[in-house]
Amino acid sequence: MVEDCLFCGIVAGTIPSQTIDADERTVSFMDINPATPGHALVVPRAHSADLLAIDPADLEACAASAQRLVKRMGEVLKPDGFNLINACGAAAWQTVFHFHLHVIPRYEDDPLKLPWLPRGGEADEIAALAERLRVDG
């Protein structure tokens, strides 16, 4: 547990939350500023700042918990879809530096606009980046 970490406080129960699921490695609770009705967060019990720092076993556990939540939300809220979002770094909108996955149920008519405007990609640019990123290239 890291002192002054909001989500460590939620995991420890010293900061109130609407916890909806928990297992050995993770805790899931409602986001206090929901992007859509049902928006929840999954965090590892063990503190790690972000996607770069998290233990892969905790990441796996968070992914499994997110899937469990999505299934539960599907039954209970009957949304039309879901977004799973992780912000890693302030430039990527991370504001709480204890790793978390956003689980956001989506509804056909919800007003949520993520700041992402899909536009036609440049094929050459995409291919060049793929070349640089390809593991065995």
Binding residues for Zn ion (CB under 5 A): 2, 5, 7-8, 47, 98
Catalytic residue among 39, 47, 98, 100: 100
Nearest-approach distance from CB 50 to ligand AMP, in angstroms: 9
Catalytic annotation present for 100: yes
**Binder of residue 98, out of Zn ion, ligand AMP, none (CB less than 5 to 8 A by kind):** Zn ion
Q: Which amino acid makes up residue 109?
A: D
Per-residue x/- track, 43-82, ligand AMP (CB under 6 A):
----------------------------------------
Q: Which does 14 bind (CB under 5 to 8 A by kind): ligand AMP, Zn ion, none?
A: none
The string of DSSP codes covering the chain is: --TT-HHHHHHHTSS---EEEE-SSEEEEE-SS-SSTT-EEEEESS---STTTS-HHHHHHHHHHHHHHHHHHHHHT--SEEEEE---SGGGT--S-S--EEEEEE-TT-----S-------HHHHHHHHHHH-TT-
95 binds ligand AMP, rule: CB under 6 A: yes
Query: What does 8 interact with, of ligand AMP, Zn ion, none (CB < 5 to 8 A by kind)?
Result: Zn ion
The smaller minimum CB distance to ligand AMP, of residues 12 and 127, is found at 12
By CB under 6 A, is residue 17 in contact with ligand AMP? yes
- Cα separation, 67 vs 28, whole angstroms: 11
Give backbone dihedrals phi and psi of 21, rounded to 5 degrees, phi first. -165, 155
The catalytic residue positions are: 100
